[in-house]
A and B are shown apart, each in its own frame.
Chain A
């Protein structure tokens, strides 16, 4: 059976990755029949009505899903299509209460024309009562209008779809987690809608374990917890976790949303000196439990880009120029108020650290989803990092004026699927690579491009 998925016309490149991830979570066999980035209407085949409802129940970018009864470029073509494809379904709805509604994308209708159009469906043998509130069934005429149709006075849409409404997505969740109403946020908190989409694409689900190594004020762990996962997080800046007073803390955010049960543990740590236990790569061959020392089902993060927030790791920037720092640290480090020195770090090295860490801590088929910026100019583009143990699942892009940020998602492949040639190439590369530069600009090609306004 064919179903019509009505997407929201925003974050277009995230829509298919999200729905495909949800198909995996709900174990639903989804086949996309027609889809385009320019249209909010997508036709798919699914095994059942129940599967269709489950598929979209936690989707952020799907508004609704419908059993598709017919479609066409003109009204007469639509009616012909309905008669041809759905006549066998009509008897099922002879006696139930029902209503007709319109979903006009980029268009509008007066209530008179609506009534007129509804009356052209009188051949449908619906004898039950019409109920505007909570009817048993809702039939929807979805219209795809051209851009600017209202001011241009366009009379008819480009395309019609007619279907029976089955269910709606979770469009209420972004409002529930809205940053404007969240007690504790910072300048770089990820907005609720994209954090939830990220959690969906990373397959967060009840009983699973998720980790964010750049947790900040907790946007991603909260989104994962909202979908039932147990969420862990860390940040090099402990102040972001502890918060600014008793009520405004990361924990307080979990409390605000009633998600405290899903807060696993938050701690202060640096990814380059992480306390998380890791499984050495390539040593577990033969074991096939798909876990063998690894911990997480997913790692989701938005690492610092080094523009708004400095990109720092533990260490001393120029030890030869400041020889007193290390001895002073040795003397002071046990005091509670001691703040360890930090040094600027390479953006690309950090991306590689995230991949290596993920390869060592994700269970088989676990996902890494992280955000990274890039210049829109091809010459200044930041390449998508690769790792022999991680397969790229998809790349979604949010475009700004001169730069974009991408959500890159990887799958931890089982050890047996890893290409030994790629492992060898990586080892050789590691042995020859040396960190170049010392200042924040030298270490971060994106920061450099950002502050030179992406001019070459």
Chain B
């Protein structure tokens, strides 16, 4: 599961949805893998407006990556900044979370990640 995916995922519990703490989910005991992928500026430019930047900064720090700038770049700035393009490409698309847990900051529920596949199925008392 690419790190980009983590920016799209919140807690699946309905009562958590309204809480700001349910997003992003916090990686715990994360085992990461790295794929070498050719950089695709077109994809990154398209992805950028859909990213929740604050959440991405949190995820990036929690996974041990260097701190991202406080403000997101504009698409034009990103296209002109090769270093940032590479950094985002490496974090969002080349890095995969293979094992570990994703933890909700609101209810504390832990979603297991195994072989790169996260499990968001809930027990009946949380549905």
A and B together in one complex:
yes
B123 with A338: CB separation less than 8 A: yes
Chain B residues lying within 8 Å of A325, measured Cβ to Cβ, are 124
Binds A, one of B43-51, B58-66, B80-88: B43-51
B42 with A275: CB separation less than 8 A: no
How distant is the Cα of A206 from the Cα of B38 in the complex, in angstroms? 13
Contact with A along B7-46 (1 / 0, CB 8 A): 0111111100000000100000000000101101011011
Contact with B along A231-252 (1 / 0, CB 8 A): 0101010100110000000010
Binds B, one of A11-19, A87-95, A260-268, A375-383: A260-268
Interface residues on A, range: 35 or more
Most interface-central of A230, A232, A289, A326 (chain B CB within 10 A):
A230
B117 with A267: CB separation less than 8 A: yes
Is A420 part of the binding interface, using a Cβ–Cβ cutoff of 8 Å?
no
Residues 288 to 316 of chain A near chain B (Cβ within 8 Å): 289, 291, 293-295, 297, 314-316
Is B115 part of the binding interface, using a Cβ–Cβ cutoff of 8 Å?
yes
Most interface-central of B10, B45, B127 (chain A CB within 10 A):
B127
> How many residues on chain B are close to A (CB under 8 Å)?
41
B125 with A329: CB separation less than 8 A: yes
A268 with B46: CB separation less than 8 A: no
A230 with B14: CB separation less than 8 A: no
Residues 251 to 275 of chain A near chain B (Cβ within 8 Å): 251, 260-261, 263-270, 273-275
Partner of B119, one of A206, A268, A341: A268
Contact with A along B96-111 (1 / 0, CB 8 A): 0000000000000011
Asked whether A238 and B119 contact (CB < 8 A) given A265-B2, A265-B5, the answer is yes
Is A333 part of the binding interface, using a Cβ–Cβ cutoff of 8 Å?
yes
Chain B residues lying within 8 Å of A251, measured Cβ to Cβ, are 116
B43 with A277: CB separation less than 8 A: no
B1 with A266: CB separation less than 8 A: yes
Would you list 9 pairs from A and B whose C-beta atoms are within 8 A, ordered by A residue?
Answer: A209-B46, A236-B121, A261-B38, A265-B118, A266-B117, A275-B12, A295-B50, A326-B124, A340-B121
Known pairs A269-B121, A270-B120; list 14 more (Cβ under 8 Å).
A206-B43, A209-B50, A230-B4, A238-B117, A242-B115, A264-B2, A265-B118, A266-B1, A266-B116, A266-B117, A275-B9, A277-B10, A314-B122, A338-B123
What 6 pairs between A and B have smallest CB-CB spacing? Answer: A265-B5, A333-B123, A329-B123, A207-B42, A269-B120, A265-B1
